[in-house]
Amino acid sequence: YGTNRLRQAKFMDFNLTEEQLMIQQAARDFAQAELLEGVIERDEHSKFPTEQVKKMAELGFLGMMVDPKYGGSGLDSVSYVLAITEIAKVDASAAVIMSVNNSLVCAGIEKYCNEEQKMKYLVPLAKGEVIGAFCLSEPEAGSDATSQKTTAIDKGDHYLLNGTKNWITNGATASTYIVIAQTDVEKGHKGINAFIVEKGWAGFDIGPKEKKMGIRGSDTHSLLFNDVKVPKENRIGADGFGFNFAMSVLNGGRIGIASQALGIATGAYELALKYSQERKAFGKEIFKHQAIAFKLADMATQISAARLLCFNAAYQKDQGMDISQSGAMAKLFASQTAMDTTIEAVQIHGGNGYVAEYHVERMMRDAKITQIYEGTSEIQRIVISRTLIA
């Protein structure tokens, strides 16, 4: 590639292993048997899939990449991509619950926490006995993680936490929260820390549930911290490590969101393809009309490209490579693919595409958020462009 600096030094073997195929099938079976029934009702009533999440835990889907000694499944990132994709094909809300617990919470604790913290918090999270939440975004600090207004003042044996976090997935159902806060404004990003906070601590309140356009089955809340005492031992890493911690975790988190987007796109495409083979217009199945056939061809092509980007980012992560570029590329392209594909799926369904029972209108609403959380599409372009000249 000359001076292009594309970080593609290693590519994955495109032949999935027997174990990976088994994980994919298990996730597909779970999604069809446990998630499909009631998914429209959960969306309509913004109902958290409590029983389904418990079954996800039983299958090991909430700690997929965590070492078995900490209660996890010890699987690779490609298996994780396969599982989330299958679940998101049916229920994107369940997929994001799974993604946050795996990519943002478990991954961060396993990689950066000490042994005592891992045994106390990671084990129950990986087993799915509790679920976690990652608390970075604020009313005035979404993608700009350096603009934290939440503060954690050092009081000797503890920190005093004050502030508000917004748009927190698993906000009310989580028991363990990773909270990013500013401890020294003068130091800028070097004055930011990450803390493990438990539900129920004095001064920690959960705001009302957000009314959302999509992924309504996941619970999204604001979190309020008013003089919350956080023990010193609940800080993650050295003093001032919080910003680097957040950026590292978000890099991995983009693979989960890219996989969710891939699943939404794939699910919508499969429904549109099936519908086009059943629906007739002007005396023949609409698939046989070039206008529809070309739409499906473009959808399939975009999905195949998105899948390869997701696999490549996952493979590079497992190889211990820098995934800042590959993760951002996967998230950027897969989220656009999800949006494009679901719009066309609704169009192919015609009037039926506007009706809840055909699922694609929900998928279109769900797809939009994949372009926003874990950093907007514009942020992904910034990340990618910086890697090109690094």
CATH number at residue 235: 2.40.110.10
**How confident is the model over 174-183, as a mean pLDDT?**
97
- Residue 188 and residue 256 in one domain: no
- Residue 235 and residue 324 in one domain: no
User: What letter would DSSP give residue 221?
Assistant: E
Model pLDDT, residue 10: 53
End position of a domain, from candidates 103, 130, 157: 130
Model confidence at 390, pLDDT cuts 50, 70, 90, reads low
Model pLDDT, residue 186: 87
pLDDT for 221-234, tens place per residue? 999 999 999 999 99
- Residue 377 and residue 282 in one domain: yes
In a domain, 91, yes or no: yes
340: which 2 tokens?
Answer: 């494009």
Model confidence at 9, pLDDT cuts 50, 70, 90, reads very low
Model pLDDT, residue 3: 39
In a domain, 7, yes or no: no
pLDDT for 192-222, tens place per residue? 999 999 999 999 999 999 999 999 999 999 9
Model pLDDT, residue 375: 78
pLDDT for 12-38, tens place per residue? 567 899 999 999 999 999 999 999 999
- Residue 53 and residue 153 in one domain: no
- Residue 255 and residue 371 in one domain: yes
**What's the whole-model pTM score?**
0.94
Structurally, the chain folds into a number of domains equal to 3
In a domain, 2, yes or no: no
pLDDT for 38-66, tens place per residue? 999 999 999 999 999 999 999 999 999 99
What are the contacts of 239-242 at 24+ separation with CB within 8 A?
A: 239/183, 239/193, 240/183, 240/184, 240/187, 240/190, 240/191, 240/192, 240/193, 241/112, 241/193, 241/194, 242/180, 242/181, 242/183, 242/192, 242/193, 242/194
Helix (H, G, I), strand (E, B) or coil at 13: coil
Model confidence at 2, pLDDT cuts 50, 70, 90, reads very low
- Residue 234 and residue 274 in one domain: no
CATH code of the domain covering residue 98: 1.10.540.10
- Residue 217 and residue 280 in one domain: no
Question: How far is residue 261 from each of residues 59, 136, 215, 331, 370, measured CA to CA in Å?
Answer: 22, 21, 12, 8, 6
- Residue 269 and residue 384 in one domain: yes
Cα separation, 44 vs 217, in Å, equals 9
Q: Is it the case that residue 7 has pLDDT exceeding 70? A: no
Question: How far is residue 190 from each of residues 57, 181, 244, 333, measured CA to CA in Å?
Answer: 36, 11, 9, 31
**How confident is the model over 6-10, as a mean pLDDT?**
48
Give me the domain span that covers residue 236. 133-242
In a domain, 6, yes or no: no
Residue tagged 């159902």 (tokens): 173
Model pLDDT, residue 22: 97
In a domain, 113, yes or no: yes
- Residue 109 and residue 150 in one domain: no
* Inter-residue contact 65 to 77 (CB < 8 Å): yes
Q: Beta-carbon neighbour count of residue 97 at 10 Å?
A: 29
- Residue 257 and residue 301 in one domain: yes
Q: Beta-carbon neighbour count of residue 46 at 10 Å?
A: 17
User: What letter would DSSP give residue 210?
Assistant: P
End position of a domain, from candidates 91, 114, 130: 130
- Residue 189 and residue 289 in one domain: no
Q: How many CA atoms lie within 13 A of 254 on its CB side?
A: 35
Model pLDDT, residue 11: 53
Model pLDDT, residue 188: 86
Model pLDDT, residue 209: 94
pLDDT for 226-284, tens place per residue? 999 999 999 999 999 999 999 999 999 999 999 999 999 999 999 999 999 999 999 99
With a pLDDT cut of 70, the percent of the chain lying above it is 96
What are the catalytic residues?
Answer: 374
- Residue 118 and residue 138 in one domain: no
pLDDT for 94-136, tens place per residue? 999 999 999 999 999 999 999 999 999 999 999 999 999 999 9
